């Protein structure tokens, strides 16, 4: 190999990066000590940005396209390196390729249950999982905060930090929005949108943006789900009497349509058993209803005796007070529904009690 060929091998003519992994955020162009040739070709593909860094300082940033590196298209680097009228010698500079595509299908989930206060069920523990998408929107912030001097910086390097941030915002959002547990499933889309907005406030500090945030499932403990299922079953059953009759009718229909030599006997037997069972359950249900029926409420009264309010008294207590001459027809009486106090003589149900009470026993004759 001649001296010219050796020198050519030390200069870089083409700068480009092909991402075969599909999950690379930042890749530092590996020049292995070689210098970049004046007039070298820079190729930046779609969903990429190329960044030149000189001695730790960000210089020029290139969007997708093909560039010939000269002082005309490297204004910041030209200033940093003191080039005035052009240059002919090779130069050394760090070149980073940053992916600006949307990274989809990123998984998130709760490691531990989240404590939630529900207005209907009280304190509950819930778990949740889903996926999200993000992309780079501020190349400078990302490189300064995370990539550093790493030759390759992939999504996995940020995964744990992003998940922790998501769970924090998700927990805060559930607490602030106060959506009842039974209504969460109907609000996955709205909840995901709001949480995505909350997340962007933190993601943007890292130069990132949440493109989409999806909630796939929010689940309750097994015992709570079983209790909700039982409640749902009771709501579906509704009127137990009608449900029992419906079940009996189905049993009769099945028995009547069954085939074989014992079809007629089976139909009769099925009908008898069905009707008997229906009657038994219906009687039990009726008895339970009767037992559960509270006795009728009694009207109570308040009375003014000797300038003081007494009561509440029922009719039997008032009848006893009349017999003991504690009240008379002029005694003031009030009950619920009356606008003002009234004399006992003006309240029919109490005035009638006086007519039914015998007068005082006269003194003995001398």
pLDDT, tens digit only, all 366 positions of the chain: 444 444 444 567 899 999 888 889 999 887 666 688 888 899 999 999 999 988 888 889 999 999 998 888 888 888 888 777 677 778 888 899 999 999 999 999 988 888 888 887 788 889 999 999 999 999 988 888 765 566 788 888 888 889 999 998 888 888 787 888 888 888 888 888 888 988 998 899 889 999 999 999 998 888 878 877 777 666 666 655 666 666 676 677 676 666 545 444 444 444 454 555 556 555 655 555 555 555 556 788 899 888 888 888 888 888 888 888 888 889 998 988 888 899 988 988 888 888 755 656 677 776
Strand partners, 50: 62, 97
345 secondary structure, DSSP code: G
Whether residue 103 contacts residue 155, with contact meaning beta carbons closer than 8 Å, is answered with yes
Tell me how far the alpha carbon of residue 343 is from its chain's centroid: 62
pLDDT confidence of residue 243 = 62
Characterize the bridge pairing of strands 103-109 and 94-99: unpaired
Do 103-223 and 301-355 agree at the fold level? no
Whether residue 50 contacts residue 61, with contact meaning beta carbons closer than 8 Å, is answered with yes
Task: Kindly report the CATH class assigned to 103-223.
Answer: alpha beta
Domain map of the chain by residue range? 3-99, 103-223, 238-286, 301-355
Tell me how far the alpha carbon of residue 164 is from its chain's centroid: 18
pLDDT confidence of residue 89 = 77
**What are the tokens at 138?**
């501020």
Residues contacting residue 132 through CB under 8 Å, at least 6 positions apart = 106, 108, 166, 196, 199, 210, 211, 212, 213, 214
What's the CATH architecture for 301-355? 2-Layer Sandwich (3.30)
pLDDT confidence of residue 235 = 66
Residues contacting residue 258 through CB under 8 Å, at least 6 positions apart = 266, 267, 270
What distance in Å separates the CA atoms of residue 77 and residue 58, rounded to the nearest whole number?
9
pLDDT confidence of residue 213 = 93
Record the pTM.
Answer: 0.58
Give Cα separations from 211 to 9, 203, 216 (angstroms): 43, 11, 16
């Amino acid at each position: 190999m001649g001296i010219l060929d050796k020198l050519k091998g030390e200069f870089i003519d083409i700068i480009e990066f092909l991402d075969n992994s599909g999950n690379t955020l930042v890749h530092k162009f590996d020049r292995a000590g070689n210098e970049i040739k004046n007039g070298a070709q820079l190729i930046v593909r779609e969903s990429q940005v190329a960044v030149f860094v000189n001695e730790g300082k960000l210089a020029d940033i290139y969007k997708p396209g093909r560039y010939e590196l000269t002082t005309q298209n490297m204004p910041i680097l030209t200033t940093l390196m003191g080039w005035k009228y052009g240059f002919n010698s090779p130069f050394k500079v760090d070149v980073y390729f940053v992916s600006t595509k949307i990274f989809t299908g990123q998984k998130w989930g709760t490691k531990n249950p989240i404590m939630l206060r529900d207005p209907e069920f009280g304190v509950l523990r819930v778990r949740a999982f889903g996926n999200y998408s993000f992309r780079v929107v501020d190349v400078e912030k990302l490189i300064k905060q995370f990539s550093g001097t790493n030759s390759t910086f992939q999504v996995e390097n940020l995964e744990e930090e992003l998940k922790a941030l998501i769970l924090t915002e998700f927990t805060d959002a559930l607490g602030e929005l106060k959506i009842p547990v039974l209504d969460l499933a109907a609000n996955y889309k709205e909840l995901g949108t709001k949480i995505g907005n909350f997340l962007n406030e933190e993601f943007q500090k890292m130069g990132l943006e949440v493109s989409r945030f999806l909630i796939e499932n929010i689940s309750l403990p097994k015992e709570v789900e079983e209790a909700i299922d039982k409640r749902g079953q009771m709501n579906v059953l509704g009127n137990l009497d009608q449900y029992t009759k419906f079940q009996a009718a189905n049993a009769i229909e099945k028995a009547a349509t069954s085939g074989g030599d014992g079809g007629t006997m089976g139909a009769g037997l099925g009908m008898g058993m069905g009707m008997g069972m229906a009657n038994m359950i219906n009687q039990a249900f009726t008895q339970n209803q009767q037992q559960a029926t509270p006795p009728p409420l009694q009207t109570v009264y308040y009375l003014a005796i000797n300038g003081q309010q007494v009561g509440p008294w029922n009719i039997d207590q008032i009848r006893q007070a009349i017999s003991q001459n504690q009240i008379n027809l002029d005694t003031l009486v009030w009950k619920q529904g009356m606008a003002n106090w009234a004399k006992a003589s003006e309240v029919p149900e109490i005035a009638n009690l006086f007519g039914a009470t015998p007068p005082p026993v006269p003194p003995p004759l001398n």
